[in-house]
Structure 1
């Protein structure tokens, strides 16, 4: 019951609320008169608030994880309900920005609760199970859209109610699990020096991939795709993310920077394919599935990379890298919104693909000081790689579990 409600909270805050903005955007634009550039700024603000939530959660989750669960459920649920009842673009945009905070708060809270509720011997698996909710959440959002669109208000209302209900259930089943004062080691100047390349690549990747999360379905609708096709393509994103588990045996054999290059490269190809051939149904569906897989596996590569560089601070490192990725998304969403209005979807997607590719190429260039393959300090990296977008908790040396949030 505890693990199931944890999965449901991640599915609600990520898949049904934070990442569903782009799914319902074309219908919201039609009914509320939201301009494409304004939608970019809303998505940018939502990413920024996710970062705020993630940082706050990282700082206080060790002391009050159940309070964070309540806050995450409240932000996501009330925010989605406010989006459902918005009378105009301003109220809708503000609600969307605030609702995204819930995802940033949920992840560190759940990592703490799992570490205190589940036996240490199976914590890695439990973290992977709980954090796997993003993919199913995306699929659920697609199903809601298929059933309810063009009635986007009812879809957002159901998402909001679900977020509130699962928050209450999780609080009930986690009673007695909120005590403790575990604290993750904080990164310092040496950590920043070792991670400056990875941080830069995460920023670039976030900026380039933001165009799909914000305008993926809009590009399909603009190209004349029927609603069932554009929504099904979005659902393919979630299916692609879930497919990471099927490729885990292969990806777990790769060094983190090689895995990053492969997955970021796959995302770049998917972005350009979706932008240049949105009218081709088969291409669009495949591109979305590849994007979902690549994005999901790339976030797992970030966890593995920071673990290779500094296993003792892998939890804090993961938080920092995910914040960098979502900050990149904030910049990319705003820039994409401005570019769409001037150059159209095709050119905007090509630019996004170029930026994403720029994050992939430097990863394969060797750098003095990279840890050798098989370094004894790299413990639990395979588990981190295998879980992708919502990865399992990598373990620090001596078996102490690390803490990190679900991927953005």
Structure 2
């Protein structure tokens, strides 16, 4: 029998590496990278969209990979993509190489979530699956928290940090190989095709909500450090501290299972959307440093990680015969929204200014608070 603790730690570590280090560390390192490899704000949006685009593509392919090769092999592939992309970033000398590195690194997260969700569904009893999934999903915050001191203190700057992050990704290969299931437990007839998935009304609603929510989240996670440094004129130290607080607060997503003792999943979902909108509204209203930034970005970080965990739960519940399929749809649409949101926010930021762009994207999150992604038992 596989240890549930070993499964949880393995999944948490893999999510920390693929999301926190391979994806979201880019937002923090982007200002430093642009000093060595110059690019415009508009190009910054395109570069960030490369990561989201590859994440979107790999999320679409992940359920099939998990069904054919098993959770363990898929998780190993995710770790290898994270390591490969980060190493390419470390060697980059042009925006094209940056785009390639971000694209490869972005593939890792799209494979990791369905693989881990499948492992949880195959290994743990139903009563433990929702708490396990939301706790593992909070690994994103652990990765972000680790990235901040490494990028600030490691000799060699962002290039050395990318090499270290790649080594951590490679270390994940061993537990993924050992503790995640190597074979799927569902039969061929139980697997859901994409045609079956798009016919499910619950998944259609979930997909729309995830897409718009992903678009709204891109404002902070793609451009947060850029806005702090070039719009609010904060120094690098304050920007990094706020990014650390935002990422660290996402650990609250691990407490979603505990929160369900007092709140329904629908209430947690609505609170997470409001929490994502508040820091955007505050950023739009400021023209410099404010102590209110600290609680605001903490709310935003907790809101996003909690939201992604809630969407994961809704997705798994929508396709109980194949958890990876429902999770794949939810995260595919979340990623597709982030692709669109990154490109659009970059364009609005350049054309209309940061304030107007932030207000518009905050409105998206607030609008989604009124629309539930599907049916799920409280």
Q: TM-score if structure 1 supplies the norm length?
A: 0.80
Cα drift, residue 20 of structure 1 = 1.2
Residue-by-residue CA offset, 1:257-302 (whole Å, 9 max, x unaligned): 4433332122112212133326224222222111111112222333
Cα drift, residue 220 of structure 1 = 0.7
Query: 1:221 maps to what in 2?
Result: 229
SS of residue in 1 equivalent to 2:292: helix
How far, CA to CA, are the matches of 2:86 and 2:142 in structure 1? 18
Q: Retained in 1: the 8 A contact 2:215–2:342?
A: yes
Query: 1:386 maps to what in 2?
Result: none
Cα drift, residue 93 of structure 1 = 1.5
295-304 or 110-119, which deviates more: 110-119
CA spacing shift, 1:352–1:58, aligned 2, 3 Å: same
Residue-by-residue CA offset, 1:200-251 (whole Å, 9 max, x unaligned): 2221111111011111011111122122211111111222211234565445
SS of residue in 1 equivalent to 2:22: helix
CA spacing shift, 1:259–1:179, aligned 2, 3 Å: closer
Query: 1:396 maps to what in 2?
Result: none
Q: Give the length in aligned residue pairs.
A: 367
273, 288, 298: which one pairs with 1:289?
298
66-75 or 27-36, which deviates more: 66-75
CA spacing shift, 1:53–1:252, aligned 2, 3 Å: farther
Query: 1:397 maps to what in 2?
Result: none
Cα drift, residue 352 of structure 1 = 1.3
Query: 1:64 maps to what in 2?
Result: 69
How far, CA to CA, are the matches of 1:267 and 1:10 in structure 2? 21
89-98 or 57-66, which deviates more: 57-66
How far, CA to CA, are the matches of 1:36 and 1:226 in structure 2? 18
Query: 1:13 maps to what in 2?
Result: 18
Query: 2:220 maps to what in 1?
Result: 212
Which ranges of structure 2 fall in alignment gaps of 5 or more residues?
1-5
Which ranges of structure 1 fall in alignment gaps of 5 or more residues?
365-369, 372-377, 383-408
231, 235, 247: which one pairs with 2:244?
235
SS of residue in 2 equivalent to 1:179: coil
Name the Cα RMSD after superposition. Answer: 2.9
Q: Retained in 1: the 8 A contact 2:63–2:328?
A: yes
Query: 1:106 maps to what in 2?
Result: 112
Cα drift, residue 10 of structure 1 = 1.5
Query: 1:299 maps to what in 2?
Result: 308
197, 201, 210: which one pairs with 1:193?
201
* 2:153 is the counterpart of 1:147: yes
SS of residue in 2 equivalent to 1:18: coil
Q: TM-score if structure 2 supplies the norm length?
A: 0.86
Query: 2:3 maps to what in 1?
Result: none
